[in-house]
Amino acid sequence: MTEHLYFEDLPVGRHFLSRGMTVEADAVRAFATEFDPQPFHTDAVAAENSLFKGLAASGWHTAAMTMRLIVETLPLAGGVIGAGVDELRWPRPVRPGDTLHIDIEVLEARISRSNPSGGWLKLRVTTLNQDAQTVQVIVPNIMATLRGVPA
């Protein structure tokens, strides 16, 4: 079992790198069929005639895959508890066959005034493909538990 991380383990400037996750065409179509049913996400032929010039994962699918990698890569005591997002961008499409990984950087860290058992972190999570091209940037604000302090 992975050891949990606490607020004290996350100083400003620290980076965490994830494993790779390969995007499957069936998963792209399945996610889009349920949550973002647009032809450039669900139909390879229609996608060829779109702005994307080929099947592309929904940005929301990219966000969901990124969240999976965040949870795996940043095993916070108490879980990854979000409190909003300052930025979310998709600068290039994710394609079937791409292998994604994330780079998490701690941008800010401060003890909570209202919850003395935790602190607030601002992260920059950059999702990259196998060619090191950025496919998503998200800047979330999350809560992290302080070590040795009852929640």
| Range list of β-strands (E), 24-69 | none
Q: Indicate whether 151 pLDDT > 70.
A: no
Per-residue model confidence (pLDDT) at position 149: 76
Domain that holds residue 46: 7-145
Question: What average pLDDT does the segment 43-61 reach?
Answer: 96
Is 25 part of a structural domain of the chain?
yes
1 pLDDT higher than 70 = no
Q: Flag whether pLDDT at 124 surpasses 90.
A: yes
pLDDT at 37: 97
Q: Is the pLDDT of residue 104 over 70?
A: yes
Total count of domains within the chain? 1
Domain assignment present for 69: yes
Question: Does the structure show a pLDDT above 80 at 65?
Answer: yes
| Domain annotation covers residue 151 | no
Buried residues in 19-52 as b, exposed as e (16+ CB within 10 A): eebebeeeebbebbeeeeeeebbbbeeebeeeeb
Mean pLDDT of the chain: 95
Q: What is the 3-state secondary structure (H, E, C) of 74-101?
A: CCECCCCEEEEEEEEECCCCCCCCCEEE
User: Which residue's entry shows tokens 């890569």?
Assistant: 73
CATH, residue 134:
3.10.129.10
Position 1 in a domain: no
Which DSSP state fits 10? -
The predicted structure's pLDDT at residue 24: 98
Say if 106 falls within a structural domain. yes
Mean pLDDT on 55-84: 96
pLDDT at position 90 over 70? yes
Q: Identify whether 112 is part of a domain.
A: yes
Kindly state whether residue 150 falls inside one of the protein's structural domains. Answer: no
Q: What is the mean pLDDT of residues 54-76?
A: 97
